[in-house]
Amino acid sequence: MHLPSLSTTAITLLFAANAATTLVEAKVKPLSWDAAYNKAEALVSQMSLEQKVAITTGSGWMKGACVGNTYGTTNPDFPSLCLQDAPLGIRFASNVTSGVSGINAAASFDRKAIRERAEYMGKEFKGKGVHVQLGPAMNFMRDPRGGRGWEAGGEDPFLMGVLAEETVKGIQEQGVIATAKHFLLNEQETNRHKSSSDVDSRTLHEIYLWPFARSVEADVGSIMCAYNLANATYACENDYLMNTVLKGELGFKGFVHSDWGATHSTAKSVNNGLDMTMPGDIDMNNANTGTYFGKNLTDAVEAGEVPEERATDMAMRIVASWYKMKQDKGHPETTLDSFHMEKAPYVNVQSNHKKLVREMGAASNVLLKNVKNTLPIDPKKVKKIAVIGSDSITDPKLFNCADHGCTGYTLAQGWGSGTTYYPYIVDPLAGLTNAFGKKVAVESTADDWDLKKAAEVAKDSDYAFVFSNADSGEEYITVDGNVGDRNNITLWHNGDNLIKAVADANKNTIVVIHAVGPVLMPWINHPNIKAVLWPGLPGQESGNSLADVVTGKVNPSGRLPYTIAKREEDYNAGISQELVIPYEERLLMGYKWFDHAKIEPLFPFGYGLSYTKFDYSKLSVKAKASYDKKDKKTIKDATVKASISIKNAGHVEGAEIVQAYLSFPKSAGSPPQQLRGFEKVFLKKGKKETVKFELTKTELSIWDEGTETWVIPSGKFTINIGASSRDIRKSSSFTL
C-alpha cells in the first residue's frame, strides 16, 4: 500500500511492527481563520467559476471512496475531499475502533475523557485519509423516543456544549475537519424530510443553538444542515438559520454542507447560506438525477441569480477549512472503500485505542441502585454466577448486519449512519467470565422467552446478572417495527418479564441495561434486585468496561445525561406525527420540565451512585458585574466565581461529578434551574479538594426577544451545587 510522504520530524509511528499500518502526523495546531483565509485567497483567486463550483459539489451517492466526495480541481490543484460518517468512529471501514456513543461520552461528565475520545477518533480518520469527520452530533433528546438521541449528548445544552467543544477541538487538532450536526431542530426521525420544527427565538438560542455556538467558538470547520424544515423553510435553504444566525450572529467562518439529500434548490439554497451539497445528487436514491450544484449552479451565477462573490465565498470557506487543519501538509491518501470494504487496502488505525474505549465505557456506566454495597463484588468470594439474557451475548450475525439494524444480541451502539462496524466485541458474558476467573462457575442462558430456564439458571448462583436492552436509530432502517424513533420506552425482548423471573429466583439479582435512552423499570423496587447498572452504549469493549465496574477496578462515576421518568406520560414532548411540530414546551426540556411541573422522576438528570460518598462544604460565591455608563441598570458583563470543598468521606477512592445549577431571577422567566458547570474530581479516601466554577456572560445570560440579543438579567440569582439535579448539597444567592 501507499504510505503518504510526511516530514520525518512530526511523525509518530503507530504499530511500528506492522508494515501495513499508517503513519499519522503528531497533533497539528490548526491555523487561525485569518491565516487560513489568506492562503485560501491565493488559491481560490486562481480558480475559474467552474472550479469554484466543482469543489462545492458532491460527486454523487456511492460514487467515490467515502460517503461524500467533492470534485477536485487541477491547475490550481485542490483535492477531492472525503467526508465520512460517523460521530463515534469510522463507518464502512475495517481495522478501526468502534467506541462509545455520544450519549456515553456525555454520561461520563468528564471533559478530559471526552477530549481524549475525540483525539483518538481524529487520529483514526486522519490515518484513513478522511478530510471531514461527520460528527459530533448535537441534536437533543427532546423526547426519549427520538431515534438518534443516542448519537448526541442528551437533554441539557450546557452538557451538550461541553461535548461539542471538546469533541471539535480533539478531532481538529489531529488535522481532520469536524462537522457539527444537524443544524437545526432535528429531534425526531418521523417525517424528518418533511416536517417543520417551529420554535421561538429564545428557545432556539438558549437550547438548540447552544452547542453550535460552542462549536463555532471551538473553530469548527464545517456544519451540516438538517433534513427538516424550520418555520416552513428547509434547514438547508433557511436564510435565518444559516445567514442571520450561523454566519451572522455566531460568525461561523467554515462551510455549511447539506445532510445527505437535504438540498432542495440551487439559487435559493446558495443565496441563503448553503456552501456544499452532499452527496451531490438531487435524489440520492435515484442515480442520474443530476445535481442542484455543478452546472446548475454555474448557470445560476451566469444568469445573475447567484452573485459570483457568493460562489467565491463558498469556495473560500471550503479551502480555508482545509488549510486551517493543515491538510495541505501531507494529509494521508484516502484508503477507504466504503461501498466495497473488502477492496480497501489494509490500513490499521486502531493503535491502542481500545484502552481508551474500555476506560470510557467504565467511566460512563451509571450505577442506579446498589443495596447495602452489593457492588463491587470480590471474585474470590464467589463460587458461581449466572449471566442471563440475549443482551449478554454476541453472534456472528452482529458483524454482518447493515448499519447495526439488527437486534437479539448485546447492544453497544444504536442503528443507522451513526455507526461503525465492530472490529470485535467483548460481550458481557465474555467480560464477566474473564474477570471472575477460572475458579468461578458461570452458567448462562440467552433465551429471553424461556422464563423457567432463566429462573433455573439464576436459582443457585451467588449472583444473577440479568441483561436487557432498548434500541433505536435512523429512519431508513426499521427494526422490530421501530422506524428509527422508539415506539415505546419499555425494554425489548420480554425484558421486564425476564428480569422479574430472575429476581424471583435469586436474592442477589443484578440488572444491567444497555439502552439508547430512558426505559420504564416496573421491577425497580423488587427486593431481590440488589443493584442496577446502566452502561448505555459502551462500544467494542462493553464486557470489559462492565467487569471493571462490577469488580471495583473502577469506581463508577457516570451520571445520567437525561431524566428517567416513572411513567411514559411524564415526558412532555413526544414524537409528533404532524408535519408542523411546534416545540411548545419551549425551555422546559427534560429535568427543567420535571422541576417546573414538580414531577418526581425515577432517576433525575445528573444522577449516579458511587462506591464511596462525598461531603460538600464551604460554598463561597463571588459575583462581579460592570454596568452601562448611561443606564446604570443594564449589566454589560459579569463573572461569578464559586468554590466548594469536596471530601471523599467513604472507604474507597473514587471520582465525584460536582454539578452547578443556576437559578435566574424570577423576572427572567427561566426554568427553575439549569446546569451551568460540572467538574469531575478524583479523590483518595479521606482526601479533600476545592472545586471551582466560573460563570461568564455566556452562562449568566438569557436571550432577549425584544432586542434579539443576549442580556444578563438583573436581580437575585441562586447557584445550587450538588451531586445531581435533585441532590443539591449547598446553595448560595447573589444579586446583579
Ligand X SMILES: *[C@@H]1O[C@H](CO)[C@@H](O)[C@H](O)[C@H]1NC(C)=O
Q: Which residues bind ligand X (CB under 6 A)?
A: 94-95, 198, 200-201, 204, 230-231, 240-241, 282, 290-292, 294-296, 348, 423, 480-482, 487-488, 490, 492
Burial of 538 (0-12, 13-18, 19+ CB in 10 A): buried
CB of 296 to ligand X, least distance (A): 4
CA distances from 294 to 60, 260, 264, 272 (A): 11, 16, 14, 17
The grid coordinates of residue 693 equal 466554577
Q: Largest Cα–Cα distance in the chain?
A: 80
φ/ψ bin of 134: left (φ > 0), alpha (ψ from -120 to 50), beta (otherwise) = beta
168 close to 219: Cβ distance less than 8 angstroms: yes
Up-side HSE of residue 10: CA atoms within 13 Å toward CB? 14
CA angle 248, 251, 252 (to 5 degrees): 110
Check: CB of residue 708 under 8 Å from CB of residue 675.
Answer: no
Q: Please report how close the Cβ of residue 495 comes to ligand X at its closest, in angstroms.
A: 8
Q: Which is nearer to ligand X, 602 or 619 (CB)?
A: 602
Q: Report, in Å, the least distance between residue 282 CB and ligand X.
A: 6
- To ligand X, the closest distance from the beta carbon of 489 in angstroms equals 8
Cell numbers at residue 29, please?
A: 495546531
Q: Which residue among the candidates 85, 110, 219, 259 is catalytic per the annotation? A: 259
| Minimum CB distance to ligand X, residue 126 (Å) | 18
**60 versus 170: smaller Cβ distance to ligand X:** 60
Residue 135 DSSP code: -
In the bound state with ligand X, the residue whose beta carbon lies nearer, of 200 and 337, is 200
Give the separation between CA 575 and CA 195, rounded to whole angstroms.
12
Distance set, CA 52 to CA 317, 320, 411, 701 (Å):
11, 13, 44, 40
Q: From CA 90, how far away is CA 338, in angstroms rounded?
A: 10
- Chain centroid to Cα 613, Å, comes to 29
**Of all residues in this chain, which one has the CB nearest to ligand X in the complex?**
290
- Residue reference for cell 432463566: 454
Euclidean distance between CA atoms 364 and 103, whole angstroms = 9
**Angle 50-52-58 from CA coordinates, rounded to 5°:** 90
Give the nearer residue to ligand X in terms of CB position, either 77 or 705: 705
The residues, ordered by sequence, that sit 6+ positions from 231 with a Cβ below 8 Å of its Cβ are: 196, 198, 238, 240
Burial of 710 (0-12, 13-18, 19+ CB in 10 A): middle
Of 47 and 246, which CB lies nearer to ligand X in the complex structure?
A: 246
Contact present, 334 and 66 (Cβ < 8 Å):
yes
Which of these, 526, 419, 417, 423, lies nearest to 466 by C-alpha position? Answer: 526
Report the DSSP pairing between strands 177-183 and 196-198. Answer: unpaired
d(CA 280, CA 60) in angstroms, rounded, equals 5
Nearest distance in Å: CB 391, ligand X: 13
- Minimum CB separation of residue 699 from ligand X in Å reads 22
DSSP 397: G
Q: In what order do the strands lie in the sheet with 196-198?
A: 233-234, 229-230, 196-198, 580-582
Q: Is residue 378 annotated as part of the catalytic site, yes or no?
A: no
Nearer to ligand X, 338 or 724 (CB): 338
For 165, the 3-state DSSP assignment is helix
Judged by beta carbon, residue 40 or residue 520, the one nearer ligand X is 520
* CB nearer ligand X, residue 295 or residue 622: 295
Report the distance separating Cα 664 and Cα 661, nearest Å.
Answer: 10
If the CB atoms of residues 348 and 420 are measured against ligand X, the closer one turns out to be 348
Tell the smallest beta-carbon distance from residue 642 to ligand X (Å). 33
Which residue(s) pair with 24 in the sheet? 12
For residues 179 and 175, give the distance between their C-alpha atoms in angstroms, rounded to a whole number: 13
Q: What is the DSSP letter of 80?
A: P
The least distance separating ligand X from the CB of residue 49, rounded to whole angstroms, comes to 15
Of 76 and 423, the one with the shorter C-beta distance to ligand X is 423
Residue 139 C-beta: closest distance to ligand X, Å: 14
Which sequence positions are flagged as catalytic? 259
